[in-house]
Amino acid sequence: MKLFRIVLINIVILAMLLLTLNLIAAAILDYRGHQRSARDGSKDGRVNLPAYSDKEYAKEIYHDFYRTKTTYYSYEEFRLEEFLVKPLILIN
């Protein structure tokens, strides 16, 4: 009976620690997501890559990327919401 009580207390403490870590991780992800959404796509260095012939359109793509929110879906992990700009076509 004493062993059962010790195991039960350890399980409860482990569950509380996991819940606390999960809440801390969620707060950090929420804060980082807020920081990302506050950025402007025109300041992203990838806009100047040679793959983008239209630099204004590239700025629009990255601006939309930084505005997109990340949502958690159970059994699917995290995924980005739908982008609002038209798709990018890369030509060799």
**Domain residue extents for the chain:** 1-38, 40-92
pLDDT of residue 6: 95
The pTM for the full model equals 0.42
- The pLDDT averaged over each successive group of 10 residues in the chain (92 residues) is 94 96 86 61 77 83 75 67 66 57
**Full DSSP string of the chain:** -HHHHHHHHHHHHHHHHHHHHHHHHHHHHHHHHHHHHHS-GGG-GGGGSTT-S-HHHHHHHHHHHHHPPEEEETTTEEEEPPP-SPPP----
